[in-house]
Structure formats: structure tokens, C-alpha cells
Amino acid sequence: MNTFLAILTYFAYCFIIGAYTVKIVKYLRLPTHLRWELYPVIHEEKYAYGGSYFEKKEWWNEEKQKRYVRGILYLLKEYFTLGDYLTRNVLYWLGLFPWHIGFILIITFHILCFFGALFMVLEFTISPGSPDLWGRILFYAILITGIVSFIAGTVGSIFIIINRIIDKSLRTYATPLNFLMYIFTLVVFISGLYSWYFIDPDMKEYREFWKGLITFHFVGVDVGTMVHIILFDLFLIYLPFTRSLHYITRLFAFFLIRWDDEPNRRGSKLEKRLIKNLNQKVGWQGPHIGAGRSWNELARYDR
Amino acid sequence: MKIEDLSKDTEQLVTIEPDDLIPLPYPYDDPVNEPLMKGLTDDQRMRYEASLDGVLAIGIPKPQNKDEEDAFVKRFLAGLERLLTSDNNWTFLQPLYHSLEYCVKCQICNDSCPAYIASGRKEIYRPTYRPEILRRIINKYIRKRSGILTKLTGSDIDLNWRLVARLGELAYRCTLCRKCAQICPLGVDNGLISHEIRKIFSQEMGIAPRELHELGTMQQLKAGSSTGITPKALHNIIEFMEEEIEEKAGRKIKIPVDKEGAEILLLHNAGEFISWPENTEAFAIIFDVAGIDWTLSSDLVGYDAVNYGVWYDDIQLARIAVRHAEIAKALKVKKINVGECGHAHKAMIVVADRVLTGELNIPRESALPLLEALVCNGKLKLDPQRNNFPVTLHDPCNMVRLMGIVEPQRKILRTLCPQFKEMEPHGVENYCCGGGSGFAIMQSMNFPDWRSAVSGRIKLKQILETFQEVISPDIKKYVCAPCSNCKGQIRELFNYYNVNEKCGIYYGGLVELIVNAMVDIKKRFIDWEWH
């Protein structure tokens, strides 16, 4: 059973990393598209009111400096506050916020468990009275992130299920799979809560389990903890089949679409990519199209 | 109403009653006075698929037999498959993919949609409705999900000709203002989905509103302009404009046409020449007084800035953009300036930027920053007191939310109009006039009534609220709309509700206000004549 649990955990992490990578690569390899930005564009100097470089005469004479940091900070803030939802639908936010905090912290919890285990391999003591500062920091960090994630996730899952049921506009568009997902996450968080409260108040079992994964000396854990680990592994395997990657693709959508105001300059790399696109053959069959010729040829309409 | 009802065999899915519409401020606060939207005739209902909401924007003829029905569905599916390939849809595949895959249906965008809100929240107009239909069709008929997976993923929908025809019509109940996209925290663009559905219908099935395609892009490419103005007719119009300028402004101006090597090729929406020649005349006066080196083109397509392709067909978009660039190149101008036309701004300066390569990549800019410089840098002698009447500004979505040109027009109005007042919300958070994405020019059957009563309703509400303190018809008021299509929509909207007579509200462009304030022009340029 110990080996099974370890292999399942290895597989779950490898699977989610692999599946996410494939999805991200697929997304990023989609061709350069026409400009379709929306203002305010975050890196614009006139961002505060949504102004752009098109407000300047002969804008092409100025080299633009993009301020990526501002965009990243904006998105990070949204990741941790979900402020757009708070402003527009407080009730929805009340479920969504703890649910997402639950996710962020449960992942942080496992990453910290890995580091805790790594430190244990390096013969640090992870405990509240550890002589090593890092040992004390990791102990409390693991404990707090774990507890908060289990509680927030549980509360969030319940609220979000209620929201999706009582709000007609949410219910109409919710799928059975959405509800299964919410119930699944609820079970994952509750199992963690149970394991912490009744079995492993110091999260020692997690650290030992992770140490086993690092050293390949797989250790046994209590049934309650084991159930949570299995559920979390299954959850990781399931995640790539959901819309969960929106946490990352959102970044792409903002930088590559909504804020993409890069002008096409002669001789630029962008122009080279566009020429490649324009040389592709068009297959559209509308009577006015003239399928079979390239975009370039078709754009020079036969007058 | 359930999502899958779109494929059900019902006489009409949605009916819009006057009581459903959101209330308007005084003097339209009594719903009894709400004009009745025109219904379709029996003949129209018999000939066209009108079972969505009893309104026809495209007017898709009903198939005559099962074979025609099947062929219709097959063509749609073939188009949908092409829409998801990178060679056929490199133009928008990444934004489309994102919006199809990553919408979590949180409905946060709903309240930003003027048509959805104004209609009393009819389900079919909800910004997430069309994308959900398309998503289900893709899951079930392209990705071939079946059985339990269909049920679990909520992909259950029956694809039949009625669903396809309704979806086609429904793509023309969204003005592509993209306010919903601006709201979305995940970067999903439900407006884009309407755009992409329109492309399937046009690029694969050859179906589009007549005013956009046959009378729009096709006529523009063949005859020179979507208005039907030929190069010969243009010369006559220019002569007429020169005479009018002399009569109204007391200036003898020779409008430059086809002047090689000019600094600026000015492109107007040709609708201005016909409906609002005072706008093109005002440009000519300002440029003449300021000593700008400019020209118009009389070449086919060169005198009409419009590019309706941006609303429904990428190939047509590319064709018109390339033609505009070829004309500018042949004239050896330094740059193209786009006059007061929102979608032409967006199409020519932004969207087509990635179609024009090499020598066709002629510098292109809005005329607004140039006008701002002329007004604010003292190039023109101006007296703001000549514009001392209530003025508000409508922000054309294409210029503002989609291009970020927000301040130049405001700086001009703040300088020239002592009673300028913003409507709320404004700037990049504005509401569409209701005539966006071609609606302003679409005159099919009873569609104009829907456009005024539903998609334009929020704009009317905003205008009335802004002028509420001076709403008496005795006080002349001015809605400045620096966009031809927005002006067209506001004209129709005001006609529908008789706003000019009841409230004394007039509409017009930005340059008219500039010329009206010019001290060297003896007569007032704005004559307050309703047209």
C-alpha cells in the first residue's frame, strides 16, 4: 500500500505537469492573430483613463516601452483578491474567494511539505522547538497553509455549490460535471480537515510521507491521511481535464490578446510571422472567397 | 428557457413586449407611450426563419425540403471545422480558443451588455448564451463527445437547421461593443464569438446581411463605395461641397483630390458625403485654414473609409484594407488620416495592421490628435461662446474602448464648449450607441425597430439623463458623436422616439463644433436643421 500511494503520488504530479505543459504549448503555438486589444491596456502610460499611443500624432515615430511589471502586479493582485468579482457580485465572491484561496494554499502546502521533507533529509529538525530557524519556519508554514487551505476550501466549496444552485443564471449554465467537481473538491478539503484535526495535528505524517518520496523509502500513514493523499492525487490527475488552467491562460489572454498592442513594423519579427500566415491557403467555401489561393492573393481582389 | 431550446420546434422563442424594456427617463417615463415594434408580415414569416425573436436582421430563407435542411447544417459544420483550424482562421484562432475553453460561466459580464439589459434580460441575448451554444455544438458534433460524457459536460444539443438559422440571426443581436469582454477577469471575449459565428455564415455559407455584404463590401470593391457613390459622382459632390462652403462659411476653397505627394490622405466614411456633408466640409475648412497639405482620393474604394469586413468577414476586411493601402501608396502620401468614423479607425489602423506588410504598411492615424493640436495649440481662432449650449459626447466603441483614443476629443470639447457635460459611464466604459457592428446601416424588415427599442435603449437613456436638467425642447442641445455609424444610429433612435421635437436634442460630429466656434466664419456653421 505504501508503494502504491507513492507511485500514485509520483504519477499524479508527473501527469499534471505533463498535461499542463502540453496544453500551454498548444495555446502558445496558436498563430499570431489580428490585433484585438481592449483598453485600458496596462502598460500604456495613459492607462489610468484607458488612453493609448493612438492619441499622439504620428505615433509610429515613438518607440514604446512596455511596462510588463505593472501587468504582472495587476494580475497577481487579481489572483489573490478576485477583486472584479467582489465589485460586481459579492455573493458569488463569498464562495469563489475561499474556494480559490483553498486551492492556492493546498498547493503551497504540498510544496512546503516537499521542502520540509528536503530539509529533514538534510538533517534539519522540523518542529516548533527546532534549533534550526528554518525548521521552525517550515513547521508553522506547513501547519498554517494546510489548516487554512482545508478550512477555506471546505467553506468555499459549500458556498459555491449553494451559489450555483440558488442563482438561476449560474444554475442554467452549470453542468453536472461542474457540481461533481465542486463535490470532489469539497471531499478533498474535508478529508484534509479530518486528517489534520483527528489524526495528524502537527502535519508530521505529511512530512514523513514526502521524505519517503524523496528518499524512495516509502512510509505508511494513517488511513485518514492516506485517504486525503489519494483524493488529492486523483484531484491533480483530474485538474487538467477541467478549466483549471485558466489560472495560467488568463495571463496569456491578457498579455497576448487584451493588452497586445504591438504595431507591425516593416522588417520586424512580427511582420515575418504575419507574412507566413498570409501565405497560407484559404479553404473557406463562400461564393465570394475564391478558395484555394493564399490570403495574400485573395486580399488583392480581382477588380 | 433552457439553453438547448434554441433547436426546439417552437413558433417563436422570445417575444419582446414594451413592459419588458427597461424604463426611460422623462419625457419617456410612461411605458404606454413606448412605440410598438413592428411585427413581421405573414409573408415574411412564411419565407424567412423568424422564430428566434420575431426580428429579422439577415432574413435566412427557410429550406424547402429535408435535403436543403441537411445541406444547410452540413455547410455550417464544415465552416465551424474551418473556424477551428490555423490556416483558415489564423486571424482570430487564439482569442477564439481562449474564449471557448476558459469561460467559467460566472455571468459577471451580463450586466455590461446593453441589449441584454435593455430587453429586460432576455436569455437569448445574454452574452454567454451564444458561446454556450457554439461550445455545445463543437463538443458534440466536432469533438464527437457522446453518451454520458455529453450529459456530464452539459453538451447536449440537437443540431438542426432551425438551430443554425437562429444562431445566425442571434449573432446579429450583439453589437460587438465588447464591453462584456472588458469586464471578464479571465480575458474571455463573448463578443468575439458573435463575430466568429458571423464569419462561418459569410465565409463558408455565403450568408450575411445584405447591407454589409452585397451592398456593403462587395459594392465598395466593385463600384467604389458602399453608398453607391462612383468616382464621377464624387467629383460632383465635391463641387457641391465647395459651393456650400462658400455659401455657409464665406470661404472659397478648392478641395484637393488625388494630389500626389500630399502629406495626408484623408479618408471619410462616404456616408458623410451623402448624409452629413457638413462634416466633410468642416474638415476641408479646418485643414484649409490651418494650411494642412492634404488630399482626398477619387479612386475606387479610396474615397470610402468604411470596411464592413471587420464585422463579419476577414477576407473582405483584408481586401478593403489592402485596397486603401494601395491607393495611399500610389498617391505617395506620407500617411493616411481617418476622419470621424469609428469602425474605419479600428479596421484600418488596428485590425488591418497585421494584414498590411512591406510597402503596404503605410502610416495610419486618427484625425482626432491632429484636430486636438489645431484647436489646443492656437492654430485656429476660436470663440467658445459660439458653442454656448449644452453638449455631451458619445464615445464610439471602436475609437475608444477598442483603440484607446479617449482624450483628444474631450480636450477639444472642454476648450470649445462651455456647457460640455459627460454622460455616465463614459470613456472606455461607455455604452454602445446600439448601432455597432453594422446595425446602424442594416434596414432589414423590422430590424430597425429592434435596434432603436433594444440595442440603442441604454444610449438613449444615458443621453436623456445627461440632459435631464435642460430637457425642455426650447433649449437646443448637442450630442457630439465623432463617428458616422454612431450618428446614423442616433439619428434613427431619435426619429423612433421623436427626441428632437420632444427634447430639442440634435446630434452631429466634432469638426462641426470646431468650425462653429471659428471667429473668421461669420455665419454659425451649426444650423440645427434636423436631418
**pLDDT tens-digit readout, A230-243:** 999 999 999 999 99
Looking at the fold, whether A194 and A273 belong to one and the same domain comes out as no
What's the whole-number average pLDDT of chain A? 94
Identity of residue B495:
N
Neighbours of B141 (CB within 10 A): 17
Beta bridge partners of B365: B337
Looking at the fold, whether A159 and A279 belong to one and the same domain comes out as no
The answer to whether the CB atoms of B366 and A54 lie below 8 A apart is: yes
CA distance B19 to B23: 9
How many domains would you assign to chain A?
Answer: 2
The answer to whether the CB atoms of B213 and A41 lie below 8 A apart is: no
What chain A residue is nearest to B336 in terms of C-alpha separation? A58
Q: How far is CA B113 from the centre of its chain?
A: 15
Q: State whether residue B257 sits within 8 Å of chain A by CB.
A: no
Task: Measure the N-to-C terminal CA separation of chain A; round to a whole number of Å.
Answer: 75
Q: Is residue A167 part of a domain?
A: yes
DSSP 8-state symbol, B366: E
pLDDT classification of A301: cutoffs 50, 70, 90: low
Which domain CATH number covers A143?
A: 1.20.950
Give contacts of A289 with chain B, Cβ < 8 Å: 203, 315
* Residues B306 and B229 sit within 8 Å (Cβ to Cβ): no
Concatenate the DSSP letters of all residues of A107-124 into one string: HHHHHHHHHHHHHHHTT-
The answer to whether the CB atoms of B95 and A59 lie below 8 A apart is: no
Concatenate the DSSP letters of all residues of B264-317 into one string: EEEE--THHHHH-HHHHHHHHHHHHHHT--EEB--STTTT----THHHH-HHHH
Q: What is the mean pLDDT of residues B401-412?
A: 98
Looking at the fold, whether A109 and A229 belong to one and the same domain comes out as yes
Nearest by CB to residue B358, choosing from A172, A263, A266, is: A266
Q: What's the pLDDT score for residue B299?
A: 96
Q: Is residue A221 part of a domain?
A: yes
Q: What's the pLDDT score for residue B7?
A: 95
Nearest by CB to residue B204, choosing from A38, A266, A286, is: A286
Domain ranges for chain B, please list them.
39-204, 213-366, 375-516
Looking at the fold, whether A59 and A189 belong to one and the same domain comes out as yes
Range of the domain at A293: 269-299
Q: Chain B window 420-439: which residues touch A at a Cβ cutoff of 8 Å?
A: 427-429
Looking at the fold, whether A206 and A83 belong to one and the same domain comes out as yes
C-alpha cell of residue B256: 484637393
Looking at the fold, whether A146 and A274 belong to one and the same domain comes out as no
Give contacts of B182 with chain A, Cβ < 8 Å: 38
Give contacts of B123 with chain A, Cβ < 8 Å: 172
Q: Is residue A264 part of a domain?
A: no
Q: Is residue A294 part of a domain?
A: yes
Q: What's the pLDDT score for residue B273?
A: 97
Q: What's the pLDDT score for residue A66?
A: 74
Select the residue from B72, B76, B90 to test the A interface by mutation, using most A Cβ atoms within 10 A.
B90
The answer to whether the CB atoms of B95 and A283 lie below 8 A apart is: no
Q: Chain B window 260-319: which residues touch A at a Cβ cutoff of 8 Å?
A: 300, 313-316, 318-319
**Is pLDDT at B503 greater than 90 in this prediction?**
yes
Q: What is the mean pLDDT of residues B202-212?
A: 98
Looking at the fold, whether A150 and A224 belong to one and the same domain comes out as yes
**Is pLDDT at A65 greater than 90 in this prediction?**
no
Q: What is the CATH number of domain B39-204?
A: 1.10.1060
Give contacts of A256 with chain B, Cβ < 8 Å: 94
- B505-508 sheet: strands from edge to edge: B391-393, B477-480, B505-508
Looking at the fold, whether A225 and A283 belong to one and the same domain comes out as no
B170 to each of B59, B75, B133, how far by Cα in Å? Answer: 11, 18, 11
Q: State whether residue B97 sits within 8 Å of chain A by CB.
A: yes
Q: What is the pLDDT of residues A75-130, one digit of tens each?
A: 999 989 999 999 999 999 999 999 999 999 999 999 999 999 999 999 999 999 99
Secondary element (H or E) of residue B480: strand B477-480
CA distance A243 to A220: 34
Looking at the fold, whether A242 and A281 belong to one and the same domain comes out as no
Q: Is residue A43 part of a domain?
A: yes
Q: What's the pLDDT score for residue A302?
A: 60
Q: What's the pLDDT score for residue B411?
A: 98
Three-state DSSP class for residue B382: strand
Looking at the fold, whether A288 and A145 belong to one and the same domain comes out as no
Q: Is residue A263 part of a domain?
A: no
CA distance A112 to B367: 57
Q: Is residue A47 part of a domain?
A: yes
The answer to whether the CB atoms of B154 and A263 lie below 8 A apart is: no
Vertex B327: Cα angle to B325 and B331 (nearest 5): 115
CA distance B19 to B28: 13
Q: What's the pLDDT score for residue B146?
A: 81
Rounded to a whole number of angstroms, the distance from the CA of B243 to the nearest CA of chain A is 31
CA distance B348 to A155: 51
* Residues B278 and B286 sit within 8 Å (Cβ to Cβ): no
Give contacts of B91 with chain A, Cβ < 8 Å: 33-34, 277
- In 3D, which of B365, B321, B320, B373 has the Cα closest to residue B345? B365
Looking at the fold, whether A82 and A198 belong to one and the same domain comes out as yes
